[in-house]
Amino acid sequence: MKIVIIGAGLGGLECGFLLSKQGHEICVLEKNPQVGGCLQTFRRRGQLFDTGVHYVGGLGEGEILHRLFEPFGLNQLPWQPLDRNGFDEVIYQGESFSFSNGYKEFAEKMTSYFPHQKEAIGQYVHLLQKLQEGTQRLFDNDSAVPEREEMLSCSTLHYLRNHFSDAKLLNILSGTSLKLEMGPQLPLYLFAQTNGTFIQSAWRLKGGGSQIAEHLAAGIRSHGGEVRTSSPASGFTVHDERITGVTVSNGDVIPCDTVISDIHPNLLMAMLPEGLVRRTYRSRICTLPNSAGMFTAHLLLKPGTVAYRNHNLFVHNHTDLWDGDNCCRSVGAHFAVPEEGGYARNIDLFTPMAWAEVAQWAQGRCGRRGDDYEAFKLRTAEKLIRMVEPYLPDLKGNIENIYTSTPLTYRDYTGTHEGSAYGIIKDCEHVMTTFLPPRTSVPNLFLTGQNVNFHGILGVTITATQLAGQLTGMEK
């Protein structure tokens, strides 16, 4: 089977790897010079910076991501475990709270902070553990996972408010969730799945996330497939309501039996010929709301000045993390694993940012958006630095340079709609319309990536594996 994959993000590369390994003829088209989407890295003054992926969960032996990564050989990359006694630190109203790895250890640590909520904490951790066990069954003879279906239609915020009588504890448990679109519509399944895997185990990748993409691309090529960079798809040829070829911007037409799209569904709809899909389907896809983007301040540090922290830091300067306005009031800090020694050379500070914050510069070209834009980015970066400095005292005076990215950067380099960090917002009240199925109304067109199941390394890998299983047989 000849398969063209549009987009070399994690989902596209994983599908390409699995299907090429089964002998299918694969061609992956990527518009950028570098594969990987949010796995891309960049260098400044010799130092490597990540763009999107900073740590993963559930990578320990026997855990879900470890199991999923095994067929790709990704477990062999230089993963570094974070501090099991405190892989995440949440600063809330000036107080510090540490998250421990292990369900029992996590429950004990939270109970030490909130002894009056011991029973509720135990029930919450049991729910996380039950969901993880259910996720393990997703690939065992297509077993149904009732926990998943029930938790998809339950609001995270509704569950937390009804389960915990202490509002402070509610916010602490939500304090690491800048990696989610927090709001009343967030399904409990996403919240519990994401937090549950990190509580199992948490890991950083020494040397940057691009290693994942490069490993997968190399695997596709070794299986006889093709990965073309700087080759944006521009259209399709169609016969009898099936796609028969994908047109590349240089005019090449690549014949195919099947197409897998790893680009944002809005971009895909714009490429499809009129009449191939119903207008109502096209309209529904293009009007689904998207999650906010992200602002990141990439800090290059003076050598030998800032101690490396083997955990992540989340600082919150407001009391209600669910009020819908976390921009510059909540900030996450991720340390890159140093190449050698115990001092960090770079830290990423990030905060959610709506498209409206940068829309006025949307028509400008990357690197040429004017002094106002540059001033805006610097002001925002300085706000984030001021927020974390009290908790990283050796940071003060030891920043050598600041590089920034905004939702505009994500739009330009990953093609995501309006720089959305997590794709289409998943809504517990509209599960059937916001969780897109991999199969489309076009018989040989399929979707993968963060807009299908849920985002992040785990969500995208689950989707890619299931899609490859649909096309070639899960038992393989």
For residue 14, tell me if it sits in a domain. yes
Measured between alpha carbons, how far is 10 from 455 in angstroms, rounded to an integer?
11
Residue 141, pLDDT score: 56
- The 10s digit of each residue's pLDDT in 235-278 is 999 999 999 999 999 999 999 999 999 999 999 999 999 989 99
DSSP type of residue 368: B
Token pair 């940068």 is found at 358
Q: What percent of the chain is modeled with pLDDT above 70?
A: 98
Measured between alpha carbons, how far is 320 from 474 in angstroms, rounded to an integer?
43
Measured between alpha carbons, how far is 144 from 137 in angstroms, rounded to an integer?
8
Whichever domain contains 461, its CATH number is: 3.50.50.60
- The 10s digit of each residue's pLDDT in 346-390 is 999 999 999 999 999 999 888 889 999 999 999 999 999 999 999
Closest to 291 measured CA to CA, from 177, 379, 208: 177
Measured between alpha carbons, how far is 305 from 302 in angstroms, rounded to an integer?
6
Instruction: Please report how the helices 10-21 and 210-222 are oriented relative to each other, as an axis angle in degrees rounded to 10.
Output: 30
For residue 415, tell me if it sits in a domain. no
- The residues, any chain, with a CB within 8 Å of residue 51's CB and separated by 6 or more, are 38, 39, 40, 41, 42, 209, 296, 405, 413
For residue 444, tell me if it sits in a domain. yes
Measured between alpha carbons, how far is 149 from 95 in angstroms, rounded to an integer?
36
Residue 144, pLDDT score: 59
pTM of the model: 0.94
Q: Cα dihedral sign for 176, 178, 180, 185?
A: positive
CA dihedral 165, 115, 198, 171 (to 10 degrees): 40
Measured between alpha carbons, how far is 433 from 17 in angstroms, rounded to an integer?
29
- The 10s digit of each residue's pLDDT in 378-406 is 999 999 999 999 999 999 999 999 999 99
Number of domains in the chain: 1
For residue 390, tell me if it sits in a domain. no
3-state secondary structure of 29: strand
Question: Is the pLDDT at 145 greater than 70, yes or no?
Answer: no
pLDDT band of residue 135 (cuts 50, 70, 90) is: confident
Span 318-344, mean pLDDT?
92
pLDDT band of residue 326 (cuts 50, 70, 90) is: confident
Strand partners for 50: 41
For residue 63, tell me if it sits in a domain. no
For residue 389, tell me if it sits in a domain. no
For residue 443, tell me if it sits in a domain. yes
Q: Where are the beta strands (DSSP E) in 268-395?
A: 293-301, 312-316, 330-335, 346-353
For residue 33, tell me if it sits in a domain. yes
What range does the domain containing 232 cover? Answer: 2-53+209-288+430-472
